[in-house]
Structure 1
Amino acid sequence: MQVSSKKLGTEKIGKLLLRLSLPAAIAMMVNGLYNVIDTIFIGQGVGALAIGGLAIAFPIQMLIMGFAQMVGIGASSAISRFLGSNQVEKADRVAGNAYMSIFIISLIFTILGSLFVDQLLTLFGATEKLLPYAKDYIEVIFLGTVFFSFAVTSNNIIRAEGNAKIAMFSMIIGTGLNILLDPFFIFGQLNLIWFTLPGLDMGIQGAATATIISQFASFVYIMSYMYSGKSSIKVELDHLKLKWEIIKEIFSVGFSAFSRSATSTIFAIVVNNSLRIYGGNIAITIFGIVNRIIAFLFMPIIGVVQGMQPIVGYNYGAKKIARVKTGVKLSIIVSTILATLGWIVGEAFPVTIIKVFTQNQTIIKEGATVFRIMIAMVPFIGIQFVGGTLFQSLGKAVPAIILSLLRQFIILTPLILITPRLFNLGLMGVWISFPIADILAVIITFLLIKSEMKKITAEKDTKTKEDYEYEPA
């Protein structure tokens, strides 16, 4: 499913989107499946409170990913456009600056995170009972930050050159290994069909250990690819020298992706502390379960927009505006179909899904209701994913940042603070804030996409007219 850079500007959009999105979607679903299975193992092997601890630690992992996505997406946008305009040397230099940047960021993050772990977890809403679980997990995760960040950044760069297959295998290797290692590290005994194997009985620390080992495996795979000569990106030592203009480009465009994770962090602080006030440990645990499931439902959509990004970026750089518009329209259609399918499954079988994670009847009953509420507007959410990626692909940082901030920070976070106090809604006010934020964000995103499509069409029309005016008779 490898796509050469030139084919990004010539091959039929539908076929191209399928070839780029399918590997990304598979990889994202496998990665999302790991998060789900990891939570299942922890819930069944350690207990429901451990899932609550995981809910406290998870936003910190998302913040780490946010830094990596910032660098990776910012670099991939520039690389796509440089390849589209046949400026290969500039693309190589962007990649080199991206790798050096993420190494420095990861090192700083690991050191500061390890030093201030208690303060971080308390800030994120950890209760007295949940703090030990969250701390045991995140302390181990910090040790693997550099490997995870490098893999996320590299996967975006690899997709920018049209090789979604390698990015897919990278994620599958890490996730698959993680799923295999989880039960061995978490449980003290593995009861298989024909025999029993001893485990390391490390509990929640075992889940984190399996994670960093798997991240290292992905790191090794990507390094072997980058130095095999098969990549069209050639990073040399000189390319690692940081250039201000390149860093500015990467961070300004990629900041929209980072802001999504950063605002997720602020959102996590607000929601976890609100849940602690209105519902306690049970509410936090329910949110930990439901949030993982919803994240999994979003994975195929993320795969679609990751496939869309190099198509839109390359063709915009090559001034092939009709292909840009077709790519956006098709991505919206596919994303909406996928979101609707996930919504149908979630609304039809909420109890069955929650039961997989825990046997606690209170969590199962309340969790099923919460799940249905939180996914009520999911069928429309694909539009927002496409909108954010569109502006990233065009290199337009300001609207991309606005869309990244829109749902969780601009709309949802204030709603969670305000709605529980309206009519004494309390905990229910927290839950209903999610579908309200979804529909408002989708409406605003749709209007911005429509406006941008008109501007792009006008750009094309103006250029075409000038071309004819200056064309020799």
Structure 2
Amino acid sequence: MPVSSSDLATQSIKKLLIRQSVPASVGILFMTVNVLIDAIFVGRWIGSLAIAALSVVMPLTFFISSLGMAIGVGGSSVLSRALGKNQKEKAINVFAHQIMMTFGLCSFIVLLGIIFKDEILLLFGANGEIKEPAEAFYMPILLAVPFQALCMMGNNVIRAEDKSRHAMAAMIVSAVANIVFDILFIKVLGMGIFGAALATALSFFLCFVYITWFFIFRSELRPSLKHFVFRSVITKEIASLSFVTFARQGVISILAILLNHTLFSYGGEHAVTVYGIISRMLMFALFPVLGITQGFLPVAGYNYGAEKYGRVRQSVFTAITFAGGMAIAIFIIILVFAKPIVSIFTTDAAVIRDTPGALRWVFAASPIIAVQLIGAAYFQAAGKATKALMLTLSKQGFFLIPLVLILPHFFGIFGVWVAFPIADVLSTLITGIFLKKEMSKELSI
């Protein structure tokens, strides 16, 4: 029996969350495995310095591609509520606007990235011996970023249609292609870090091909030429919610710049390499929690649009329960197996010595992050852009960046690592307060 978006208003919340979250989690797993494999292959076949180069370039390209993610998440919140109200024409218009906004904005920023390449690399921390490999990695990745952005946008729209298996498949295509091309270009052809960049760029393109196929042959949303005309009302509605996600990703990129420069100042290339491994573990290890958050968005958004507030309330509590259990399990694994995990990335004895302790500190508050992630996602799904923006920025923007600026002056590099759990605790407390008020007022109806 074919899946319809209307199922989001009728089937059990647990079943819907599992159906949405499992493919989302698997997709995120493959996407983060993509990043991990790059780091492992680069670290073992090229050298630990190359991991530092990846740590410099990837936040920049992630910032640009996050435009697609932002427009995808923000637009899909509008789209989900439109489908919940049976406004299919509006949903198609929203999707057409998402395509135009993603392609236009990303292409413009990529052009700036080409013109100001040297200044941007220096800004993002391409210092000392890191500069040369960072330059080799930069250009192929930058040129492929619009394809990645369109994939990230399309992925969110696919989940809003309740066809999350295709969203998962798109990420699997990208991850498998990257692994195959990494082996070919780095190991077989000996192309070094340029080969790693070329492999990643081609994997983005293949993901884009799959996403395009889905929207031509499988989607409920098939815009025609008449839909590709900018309408200010739709553009503003998408932009107001997209800004929430983009602001968060922008703050993450600012944080990456700050971390790269702070770590280089206190520990040179070695400290940047240590964080290169930790940052990839942050993306990889939390994939089930992030998958549940992604699966929660269309369920909450659709039911909020349909004014089924009891189901929205139930989806919040169920998602927090599922994600919280996963986060606790992840914390235990990191606590016990930190050193073996780090050893997978490199044979550098100094990196293996220093990274496990830092990794444990960074993950120290992970058991409670489900409240912060699901809470912020609820306000975005409900279309409450201001609260969603504030809560989304709370960890990195309001707490982590100031802590990274202050604590190293007193505790050195240890101050960087301990800033992460402090920021997690503070942002979770604030989100919990806002979410409790929402539960007792609007969602009590």
Aligned positions of 1:118-129 closer than 5 A: 118-129=118-129
Displacement of 1:279: 1.1
What is the DSSP-based 3-state SS (H/G/I as helix, E as strand, rest coil) of the residue aligned with 1:359?
coil
Displacement of 1:426: 1.2
The residue that corresponds to 1:465 in the other structure is none
**Deviation string, structure 1 residues 118-159 (Cα, Å, up to 9, x no partner):** 111111122120011112112110111121111110011111
The residue that corresponds to 1:54 in the other structure is 54
The residue that corresponds to 1:222 in the other structure is 211
The residue that corresponds to 1:279 in the other structure is 267
The residue that corresponds to 1:351 in the other structure is 339
Q: 1:411 aligns with which of 367, 381, 399?
A: 399
Report the identity percentage.
Answer: 38
TM-score (norm 1): 0.92
The residue that corresponds to 2:100 in the other structure is 100
The residue that corresponds to 2:438 in the other structure is 452
CA distance in 1, matches of 2:98, 2:291: 22
What is the DSSP-based 3-state SS (H/G/I as helix, E as strand, rest coil) of the residue aligned with 2:283?
helix
The residue that corresponds to 2:418 in the other structure is 432
Give the AA of the match of 2:213.
Answer: S
The residue that corresponds to 1:205 in the other structure is 194
Q: Could you list the runs of 5+ residues in structure 1 that have no partner in the other structure?
A: 188-198, 461-473
CA distance in 2, matches of 1:339, 1:148: 28
Displacement of 1:360: 0.9
Aligned length: 445
More helix by share: 2
What is the DSSP-based 3-state SS (H/G/I as helix, E as strand, rest coil) of the residue aligned with 2:441?
helix
The residue that corresponds to 1:159 in the other structure is 159
CA distance in 2, matches of 1:389, 1:207: 34
Q: 1:309 aligns with which of 272, 276, 297?
A: 297
CA distance in 2, matches of 1:247, 1:70: 13
Matched-pair contact (CA < 8 Å) for 2:65–2:146: no
Matched-pair contact (CA < 8 Å) for 2:65–2:106: no
**Deviation string, structure 1 residues 305-348 (Cα, Å, up to 9, x no partner):** 11111111111111100100000101001111111111111110
Matched-pair contact (CA < 8 Å) for 1:254–1:392: no
TM-score (norm 2): 0.98
CA distance in 2, matches of 1:272, 1:68: 25
Displacement of 1:361: 0.7
What is the DSSP-based 3-state SS (H/G/I as helix, E as strand, rest coil) of the residue aligned with 2:314?
helix
The residue that corresponds to 2:137 in the other structure is 137
Displacement of 1:273: 0.9
CA distance in 2, matches of 1:62, 1:399: 24
The residue that corresponds to 2:230 in the other structure is 242
The residue that corresponds to 2:6 in the other structure is 6
Residues 351, 32 of structure 1: CA spacing in aligned structure 2 closer, same or farther, 3 A cutoff? same
Does residue 428 of structure 2 align to residue 442 of structure 1?
A: yes
What is the DSSP-based 3-state SS (H/G/I as helix, E as strand, rest coil) of the residue aligned with 1:449?
helix
CA distance in 1, matches of 2:282, 2:107: 31
Displacement of 1:2: 6.7
RMSD: 1.2
CA distance in 1, matches of 2:122, 2:14: 48
Q: Could you list the runs of 5+ residues in structure 2 that have no partner in the other structure?
A: none
Does residue 329 of structure 2 align to residue 369 of structure 1?
A: no
Displacement of 1:95: 0.2
What is the DSSP-based 3-state SS (H/G/I as helix, E as strand, rest coil) of the residue aligned with 1:279?
helix
Give the AA of the match of 1:73.
Answer: V
Give the AA of the match of 1:232.
Answer: E
Displacement over 4 Å in runs of 4+: none
CA distance in 2, matches of 1:2, 1:14: 19
Higher mean displacement: 109-118 or 154-163: 109-118
CA distance in 2, matches of 1:305, 1:351: 29
Matched-pair contact (CA < 8 Å) for 2:266–2:413: yes
Does residue 213 of structure 2 align to residue 258 of structure 1?
A: no
Displacement of 1:3: 3.7
Matched-pair contact (CA < 8 Å) for 1:416–1:433: yes
CA distance in 1, matches of 2:3, 2:383: 22
